[in-house]
Amino acid sequence: METMVKKVTAVVLGAGKSKRTRTNVPKVLLDLGGKPLIFYILETLSSIKMIDEIFLVVGHKREKIQQVVYRKFRNVRFVVQPRQNGTAKAVEATKDFLKEKRNLLVICGDTPLIRKDTLKKFINFFFKKDADCAIITALFKEKSDLGKVIRDSSNRIKAIIEKTNIKSRDNEEVNSGIYCFKKNFLFKELSKIKLNKKKREFFLTDIINIFYNKGFKIESFIVDDEEEILGVNTQKNFALVRKIINQRFLEKLMSRGVSIVDPETTFVSFDTKIGINSIVYPFTFIEKNVIIGNNCVVGPFAHIRAHSKIEDNSKVGNFTEINRSVLKKNVRMKHFSYIGDTTVGEAVNIGAGTVIANYDGKRKHNTTIGKRAFIGSGTVIVAPANIGEGAMTGAGSVVTKPVKSNTIVVGVPARVFKRKKSK
C-alpha cells in the first residue's frame, strides 16, 4: 500500500485591487513594521517543512508585487489572475499549476499575524481528521467584519455567510479565510460557485455550502487567540494589525532584557536590535535596520531612523532625531538635536539644539565628529564636515570648514577662538 506523504501546497491570494484600503500601493505591499505586509505570511510558510511549494496569485499591479517579492523569495511561484473577480476565481487560476498536487493550503496574503505553530497544528489536524476541507475559525468576543460560520442542528459546518448579508453579534464563530482542501474535490466543485450579484465577485466561502450539500467532510480548527486571524481590508484593520505586530516586537525585546517604559507609545521595526539594560522611553519611533547597544537610554520623543547605530552607554534624549548615522560609545545627545549622515566618535557631547545640515538641496553629505569633541548648544554643522578629536564649538556657532583637533571655534561662520594674551 502506498504511503501518502503529508505535504500541502500553499496558495496565497494577493491579487485584489485594495479598494477598501484606498491606497495606490497594492495592499500586500503596504509597509508593516519595516517590511511589506505579504512578507510576513511568505516567511511563515517558507519555514514550515510540510509545505512543499508556495504559489502567490497576483493580479492588480502584479509587476510591482512580483518585483518586490522575487528579491527576497526565490522559492515563490507566481500565478496571474487575469480578472480580479473574487477569491474563488483566484484559486481557480492555479489549477493548471497544481496537477501533481494532492492537498492545498489556501490563505490570504493580508493575514500577517498567523503564527507558524498554529499553521503547523492546523495542517496536522487536516491530515489527522482526513478532512475534505478544514477551516481555521475563532470565537470573536467583539464584533467582527469576518464571515460568520453557520452550523446545522448536528453542529456540522453548513456555510459561511459574509457580514454584508447578516447582522454581526458578539462572541460568534468567524471564518479566518485559511483552508486546507483535498485538491481534486476543490477543483471539481469550484465551477459551481455562482456570481455574488451585489459584489460582482465569486466568493471562495461559497464552496463550504457546496461541500456540505455533497456530504463532504468539513472540520474546523478553532484558535484560542482570535488576533491571529485578523486580516487587512481597511485602514482601520491595518491600524489594529500594526499595533499588534508592534506589541509582538516589543515583547521580544523585553524578553531579552530591554526596558520599554510604555509599550503603548513605543514603536519599533521587525529587525530592531537593542542590547540589555537599555531603556526606551515613551513616544520613541525606531525604524528598520537600527542597532542600539547595551546600557543605552533613548527618548522620550526620539526618532531613530533607518540604518542608524547607537553603541553602548550612549544617551539620546528628548526631541532628537538620528538618521543614517553612527553614535559611538558614551555619546551624550540629550536635547533637541538632529544628526544625519554622521559618525559621532566616542564620548562626544552633542549640545541642545545641534543640527547637522546634511542636505544642500541636491545631495546628502557626510560628517565626522572625533572622539571627546564638545558641540556647544545651538551649533549648526554644514556638511560635508570634519570635527577633530577634542575640538569644541561655541554656542550658536555655524561650522562651515573643518575643525582641527583640540581647537575651539566660535561665531557665524565659526572661526578659531584665540585667547587674548594677558599683559
Cell numbers describing residue 39: 512578507
Domain count, the chain: 2
We report the CATH number of the domain holding residue 261 as 2.160.10.10
**Domain termination residue (choose one: 202, 233, 264):** 233
CA separation for the pair 359, 357 (Å, rounded): 6
User: Is a pLDDT exceeding 70 seen at residue 1?
Assistant: no
Q: Show the beta-strand stretches assigned E in 184-294.
A: 218-223, 259-260, 266-267, 273-274, 279-280, 284-286, 291-292
Please report whether residue 224 resides in a domain: yes
User: Is a pLDDT exceeding 70 seen at residue 421?
Assistant: no
For residue 218, what pLDDT is reported? 97
Are the CB atoms for 315 and 344 separated by under 8 Å? no
User: Is a pLDDT exceeding 70 seen at residue 154?
Assistant: yes
Q: Which domain holds residue 139?
A: 8-233
Same domain, 386 and 408: yes
For residue 3, what pLDDT is reported? 45
Percentage of residues in the chain having pLDDT higher than 90: 86
CA separation for the pair 81, 58 (Å, rounded): 6
User: Is a pLDDT exceeding 60 seen at residue 61?
Assistant: yes
Nearest to 230 by CA among 216, 221, 241, 239: 241
Catalytic residue among 60, 307, 335, 365: 335
User: Is a pLDDT exceeding 90 seen at residue 145?
Assistant: no
Are the CB atoms for 137 and 122 separated by under 8 Å? no
At which residue does the C-alpha cell 480580479 appear? 84
Same domain, 17 and 89: yes
Distance of CA 78 to the CA centre of its chain: 22
**Mean pLDDT over residues 320-333, rounded?**
98
Nearest to 46 by CA among 136, 129, 107, 131: 107
Same domain, 259 and 191: no
**Mean pLDDT over residues 352-373, rounded?**
97
User: Is a pLDDT exceeding 80 seen at residue 422?
Assistant: no
Nearest to 95 by CA among 48, 38, 55, 134: 55
Please report whether residue 422 resides in a domain: no
- Quote the mean pLDDT of the chain: 93
Residue 54, beta-bridge partner list? 10, 76
**Mean pLDDT over residues 253-259, rounded?**
97
Annotation marks residue 335 as catalytic: yes
Same domain, 139 and 288: no
User: Is a pLDDT exceeding 70 seen at residue 315?
Assistant: yes
